[in-house]
Amino acid sequence: MKKLFLAATALLLFALHTKAQILTPVTWSYGAKKTSATEATIFIKATIDEGWHVYSQFVKDGGPVKTTITFNSSNAYSLVGATIEPKPVTRMEKAFNMEVGFFEHSVIFQQKIKLKAKQTTVTGKLEYMTCNDQKCLPPDDIEFSIPVK
């Protein structure tokens, strides 16, 4: 019984140690700004740790997972155009054997919306992948909820 207890304790400590080492090199934040009584801009910002990068929305097939932002449909707003991003850094990445666009340090994606209500909450999800010069982390999905007042 004592051996079982020791084994269980060791397993628990190993699990806690492993969890503490999970890398999270990207932090996401969100905001909205009304530009008129009937329009607003949604801001989705990635703050990226030194040495890491997040990929553009416009990566060709066969490369890394591109950043994809999906907005849930709503009766309170509609999307105006596509989500825009600044000009990415572009370089040849040996791991994918192709040129890819990506962002370092931070990036802000913007989406204009037409408001059909005075207040609403814009919801959706984003999928992204982050890499550094040695490795890539598995793609991650994050749900977001952004109040527009």
What pLDDT is attached to residue 21? Answer: 62
Return the amino acid letter for 54.
V
Chain segment 25-42, per-residue pLDDT in tens: 999 999 999 999 999 999
pLDDT band per the 50, 70, 90 thresholds, residue 2: low
Chain segment 62-91, per-residue pLDDT in tens: 999 999 999 999 999 999 999 999 999 999
Residue ranges of domains in the chain: 24-148
Distance CA 18, CA 11 (A): 10
Interval 98-119 mean pLDDT: 97
What pLDDT is attached to residue 14? Answer: 46
Is pLDDT of 18 > 60? no
Q: Which of 61, 114, 57 is nearest to 87 (CA)?
A: 57
What pLDDT is attached to residue 22? Answer: 83
What pLDDT is attached to residue 98? Answer: 95
**What residues have CB less than 8 Å from 27, skipping those under 6 apart?**
46, 47
Type and span of the H or E element at 112: strand 106-115
126 or 17: which leads in pLDDT:
126
Q: Which of 30, 65, 56, 24 is nearest to 45 (CA)?
A: 30
Type and span of the H or E element at 16: helix 2-20
CATH fold of the domain at 24-148: Immunoglobulin-like (2.60.40)
φ/ψ bin of 2: left (φ > 0), alpha (ψ from -120 to 50), beta (otherwise): alpha
What pLDDT is attached to residue 94? Answer: 85
**What residues have CB less than 8 Å from 137, skipping those under 6 apart?**
23, 25, 129, 130, 131
